[in-house]
Amino acid sequence: MSATVPATHPTPVCLDPAVLALPFFEPRHRDLAARVSGWCVDNRDLWRHPDEHRPPERGRQILRALGGAGLLGHLDPATDAGAADGDLRSLCLAREALAYADDLADYAFSIQALAATPLLRHGSAEQRQRHLPGLATGAVAVAMAISEPEAGSDVAAVATTARREADGSFVLTGTKAWIANATVAGLFLVLARTGEGPGALGLSMLLVPSDTPGVRVEPVDLIAPRAFGHVHLHDVRVPPDSLIGRPGRGFPIAIDVLDRFRMTVGAAALGFARRAAAATLAHCRRRRIYGGPLVELPTVRAALADIDVKLNAAALLVARAAWEADHEMARWPKHSSIAKLYSTEAAGEVVDACVQLFGAAGLVAGSLPERLYRQIRSLRIYEGASDIQRAVIAGSLDARRAEACHDLFEK
């Protein structure tokens, strides 16, 4: 996200200025929030008339627009934005603003950032130099292919194989399922079994250009249309320098990326929820019922109050997780899971309340409440389903400290 892009709208209309004023954020984050929010306002014609029958084409158009504005500059360390705008607080603020504006805007930005992260953090200098400039301009879309028909949340169960040949090249065979950006990607980062050890110890991450012989993409239609699909790999040969990091280190690379991006999913959920809340409040102020505006009914006011509480709680959880990760606090992965779990579940409740308060108007196909209702649902599944997050959080509870504190007052 290039520091050279001016903030055309100093007030970040897609974000809460009161949250931005908290000590979690620095002046550069507030500037970024204004720039991304301003870009969303200035480019709203990209999604003013949603065409959900062409998500790949719309996704490419939005990705190029993001890259052209410098908002993907953090994906290339050679740019000024590479260091300035690549921290997790920046990513969370960008996702929140983009999700408020449009589902595909957040989708294009987030998948590009997520799939580029293994290259940014673990790729060789040659790999970064070869691939990252195109990803930063939006000229090339990228996808990370981890999940499989029998390996979703259980990453260690990946069965796709990458057989090492005598010349050092790899031959990949298998199927990757539910891959974001599959139908538009020019480059895949594939997690495959190279056999250095059992289970998670035998996985590696490999670069696979989409035009490599043996790669076939099967489009998949979702309830909220996006560039999505299954990736079939049949004797796909890639050179030795396709390996990211060391052999057998694919699992920790994948987990590192998922831990970092879970909190950004929470940020996107917050953006969707803020859009629903704003639309609902506006509707309730304008809708007349029983001789007055809908907003004056006690039950409606109670529902709006609950929505505001959820928005504030989600914003603080996301900000805490991102701040802790940026400062390398020991327990940030747990708080990333907490931020994702609460924010995505709460956003679902907020959008459901939006539909309820709009009444029949909220059920109309193509209306904002109906679109948000479809778009928000996937956030509770990808980057680790809510059930997985609960297991992660429960497994990280400090039982010994709790017991010691309890005993201190009981004995």
Is there a contact between 111 and 228 (Cβ–Cβ < 8 Å)?
no
Per DSSP, the three-state class of 298 is helix
- Catalytic residue, candidates 218, 383, 403, 410: 383
383 is catalytic: yes
Question: Which 3-state string (H, E, C) describes 145-210?
Answer: ECCECCECCCHHHCCCEEEECCCCCEEEEEEEEEEECCCCCCEEEEEEECCCCCHHHHEEEEEEEC
- Alpha-carbon distances, residue 345 vs 22, 273, 377, 381 (angstroms): 24, 10, 9, 10
Angle at 376 between CA 308 and CA 62, to 5 degrees: 110
- 102-139 in b/e form (b: 16+ CB < 10 A) is bbbbbbbbbbbbbbbbbbbebbeeebbeebbebbbbbe
Question: How, if at all, do strands 243-244 and 288-289 pair?
Answer: unpaired
Per DSSP, the three-state class of 3 is coil
Query: Where in the sequence numbering do the catalytic residues fall?
Result: 383
